[in-house]
Structure 1
Amino acid sequence: MESALAEVEFLALSPNRVDTLRLLADGPYTRRELVEETGASQPTLGRILGDFEERSWVVREGSTYRATATGRLVANGFGHLLDILDTEAKLRPVVRWLPTDTMSFDLDHLTAATVTTPSQVRPNAPVKRALDLLEDAEEVRIVSYAFNEQSLDVVVDRTQAGEQRFEGVFSSAAIDALADDSRLRHQLRELLDSDRASVRITDEDIPLAATVADSVVHLFLRDDRGILQASLDVDEPAVSAWADDLFARYWETATPLDSDQL
């Protein structure tokens, strides 16, 4: 373990070492090409290549260098570690609000996720991010304990224009809240009467607000008081598969809603 940690430290202390090993893992390079790619000086690069040769991570073939099998192993493993740490840094401010109890995928699938948080100049940024996804999607599915006015506006407009197909499973309380407002009740009726939309309701607890907009999965992240703190979205097959299964489970047990029930 100590020797492995020493090698991690050896690489971590020098971005030039990391960059050089990653480059050589992808193919052969001359020393001049490595200098141009990494920005390291000739003496620095010479020391790096010498250290790598001592570890049998690279071999020299004429004027070029290439990574050995173990060199590629180290490059890939260290690169994966860096990706994990980048993901952790991205999720650190919002991890307390992630619905991890319901997630069946590893968090490393969120490497490419977009995290949107409110700011003083954009307090509604998480909602705006969700609306942007809804406005661009042709296929939308939502499972949620709430259905906000702005999302309803977009979905009604898009389905009526023939630009979107919509399926939603909502808590009964979410639909009751819309039905209590005359304008929103009218919009909801328009949605329910559309042949491009289907809505179901459930009394089962829905602990999260998840939207699948084409292949992008979007989550609203709220604290224990129900206050919106951030949103997260990602286009990643493992996360999409989880969201598909989640939606299907609620859809199968929910009750279809039609306009006559409002």
Structure 2
Amino acid sequence: MERGTIPHGSDDGSVGDVAYLARSPHRIPTLVLLTERPRSRSELCELVNVSSSTIRRTMGEFEDRLWVRKDGYKYVATRLGEAVAEGVDELLDRLGTERKLRDVWHWLPDEVTALPVESWSELTVTVAGPDCPYQPVNRFESLLGATDTLRCIRPEVALMEPCFDLLCRLVDDGLDVTIIDRLNCHTYFYSTYPERSTELLERENFSVLEHDELPPYGTTLLDDRVAISCYERESGTVQALIDTAHPAVREWAREVYERHSADARPFEPAPLPG
């Protein structure tokens, strides 16, 4: 078959091209590499870890589709190849985000699920797994270290307790914190960490409010981002943390915070025994 003669009207059409790219794990990375700069066959073999015969065959198939052309002893992506690589790369990025979102989708507020699909790339999704159950907490800790203000609604014990030492240090350094949660969560910290909790409650930059009717997810407003924490309903364990700087999410989170803070009550701890 002559170069550039892949039939346009073939039965599988564009779906066939997608299937062709996806069938072997080296094809998409190879095409993306060629959009960066011209590369030799030996360089491509090393970068994508396949044999010379595989790359030779792949380059022939790419040339048939007019995605690449030969430039001396190197290959370079054509404008068609660049368009394909860009589109596939965007699709993979979107699917990567979707794979993380699908397991926590039912926990998310409607305002977040209603975001334009194009905005999904702005969501950082951190999911707990069997081998890394504390990844959402670790992500939350990294966000704490990059803000001067913290406004939390239902942060839950499972999210805050691992960060408690860090939070105390940050409050000492001037972090301005307001936490709105259920009474039992505040009582847990006050009874488990009585000295440090008492010290925190005496600080002007640390406020604790209680509220009886909170959403099933946590919402945290930071200087530049919003974090949404998803909990397993029975155990209260943190299943995922989703954070973003998307303006629509920030506006929604601000409204949620103002609505709940308006009718929240100051936490008044009961005297500790002894």
Q: TM-score, normalised by structure 1?
A: 0.73
Task: Say if 1:145 and 1:208, in contact at 8 Å, map to a contact too.
Answer: yes
1:232 corresponds to which residue?
Answer: 240
2:70 corresponds to which residue?
Answer: 60
1:22 corresponds to which residue?
Answer: 32
2:85 corresponds to which residue?
Answer: 75
Deviates more, 1:100-109 or 1:42-51: 100-109
Deviates more, 1:27-36 or 1:144-153: 144-153
2:161 corresponds to which residue?
Answer: 150
Q: Does 1:247 align with 2:253?
A: yes
Q: Which runs of 5+ in 2 are unaligned?
A: 1-10
> Structure 1 residue aligned with 2:110, among 80, 83, 101?
101
| Closer, same or farther: CA 216–6 of 1 in aligned 2, 3 Å | same
Deviations along 1:100-126, one digit per CA (max 9) or x if unpaired, are 42315447337753211467xx8x747
| Closer, same or farther: CA 117–84 of 1 in aligned 2, 3 Å | same
How much is the aligned-residue C-alpha RMSD, in angstroms?
A: 3.8
Paired with 1:116 and 1:31, the residues of 2 have a C-alpha distance of 40
Shift, 1:75, TM fit:
0.8
What letter is aligned with 1:248? Answer: R
Paired with 1:200 and 1:82, the residues of 2 have a C-alpha distance of 43
Q: Which runs of 5+ in 1 are unaligned?
A: none
Paired with 2:190 and 2:21, the residues of 1 have a C-alpha distance of 63
Paired with 2:37 and 2:250, the residues of 1 have a C-alpha distance of 39
| Closer, same or farther: CA 186–176 of 1 in aligned 2, 3 Å | farther
What letter is aligned with 2:40? Answer: T
Task: Say if 1:167 and 1:197, in contact at 8 Å, map to a contact too.
Answer: yes
1:44 corresponds to which residue?
Answer: 54
What letter is aligned with 2:254? Answer: A
Q: Secondary structure of 2:26's partner?
A: helix
1:84 corresponds to which residue?
Answer: 94
> Structure 2 residue aligned with 1:178, among 183, 186, 197?
186
Paired with 1:19 and 1:242, the residues of 2 have a C-alpha distance of 34
Task: Say if 2:171 and 2:206, in contact at 8 Å, map to a contact too.
Answer: no
Task: Say if 1:192 and 1:259, in contact at 8 Å, map to a contact too.
Answer: no
Q: Secondary structure of 2:111's partner?
A: coil
Q: Secondary structure of 2:110's partner?
A: coil
Task: Say if 2:40 and 2:73, in contact at 8 Å, map to a contact too.
Answer: yes
Q: TM-score, normalised by structure 2?
A: 0.71
